[in-house]
Amino acid sequence: MEDKKELNSEQIEKEQSLVSYLKNQFHQENVDLRTYSPLTLAYIGDAIYELIIRTLLVDEGNMQVNKLHRKATGLVKAEKQSQMIEILKPHFTEDEMQIYKRGRNAKSFTSAKNASITDYRRATGFEAVMGYLYLGGEYHRMIDLIKLGLRS
């Protein structure tokens, strides 16, 4: 039983060191996440959320790439993220809610071509939270929230 605990601790340490290892290897300094603009957090949050969705879909089994793409698109579009945020907001910590609101209210010069402005802004808030959690090394929290949101 104790060996299992050690292995889990090692796995957690490996997972939590991803961003730290990346920064170390490229000689980048740690930056206070609160200083990042919400659109910068959303930029990285969009990418990590899509990577998680793609990983989940690939793990479902081998299938044609165009089918994978269609499934992924349905889960990463602004409308879906907007639906997810309504489920997630009651579960957000105070910091996560603050990041969400900053992302939602950020003035962006782009907009989604197939989404309402409301959905697009809420999706930007969602992506900002994902970016914040990812850069902060809170991978378990990020995945737990995504799992909860995908139940919608």
Residue 41 CB burial class (10 angstroms; 0-12, 13-18, ≥19):
buried
What is the number of domains present in the chain?
Answer: 2
25 & 36 share domain: no
21 & 90 share domain: no
53-93 residue pLDDT tens: 999 999 998 889 999 999 999 999 999 999 999 999 999 99
The residue type of 74 is: G
| Domain at 90, CATH number | 1.10.1520.10
Q: What is the pLDDT of residue 93?
A: 98
11 & 61 share domain: no
Which one from 46, 95, 119, 144 is the annotated catalytic residue? 46
> Taken in order 14, 15, 19, 20, is the CA torsion positive or negative?
negative
Q: Does 46 qualify as catalytic in the annotation?
A: yes
Residues 6+ apart with CB under 8 A from 150: 75, 84
16 & 68 share domain: no
Q: Which residue range is the domain that position 101 belongs to? A: 32-150
66 & 134 share domain: yes
Cβ neighbours, 10 Å, residue 131: 27
Q: What is the pLDDT of residue 13?
A: 55
91 & 138 share domain: yes
